[in-house]
Amino acid sequence: MLIRKRIAVFASGFGSNLQALIDYNKNNDLNGDIVLVFSNNKDAYALKRAKENKIKAVFMDPSACSTRKQYDMKIIKLLEEEKINLVVLAGYMFILSHEFVCKFKNKILNIHPALLPSFKGAHGIKDAFEYGARVTGVTVHFAEEDLDSGPIILQEALSIDQDESLEGLEEKIHRIEHKIYPLAVKYFCEDKLKINGRKVKILNKNNSK
Q: Which residue type, as a one-letter code, is found at position 122?
A: A
Three state DSSP letters for 58-126? EECCHHHCCCHHHHHHHHHHHHHHCCCCEEEECCCCCCCCHHHHHHCCCCEEEEECCCCCCCCCCCHHH
Residue 13 touching ligand GRF (CB under 6 A): yes
Is 123 designated active site?
A: no
Q: Please, what's the largest Cα pairwise distance for the chain?
A: 51
- In angstroms, what is the minimal distance from the CB of 75 to ligand GRF? 18
Instruction: Work out how close the CB of 209 gets to ligand GRF at its nearest, in angstroms, rounded to a whole number.
Output: 25
In this structure, what DSSP letter does residue 65 have?
S
**Does residue 192 belong to the site contacting ligand GRF (CB under 6 A)?**
no
17 binds ligand GRF (CB under 6 A): yes
Which position among 137, 169, 177, 192 is part of the footprint of ligand GRF (CB under 6 A)?
Answer: 177
Separation between Cα atoms, residue 127 and residue 132, nearest integer Å: 9
The answer to whether residue 16 forms part of the interface with ligand GRF (CB under 6 A) is yes
- Of 70-129, which residues contact ligand GRF (CB under 6 A)? 90-91, 111-113
The catalytic residue positions are 112
* Binding interface with ligand GRF (CB under 6 A): 11, 13-17, 90-91, 111-113, 177
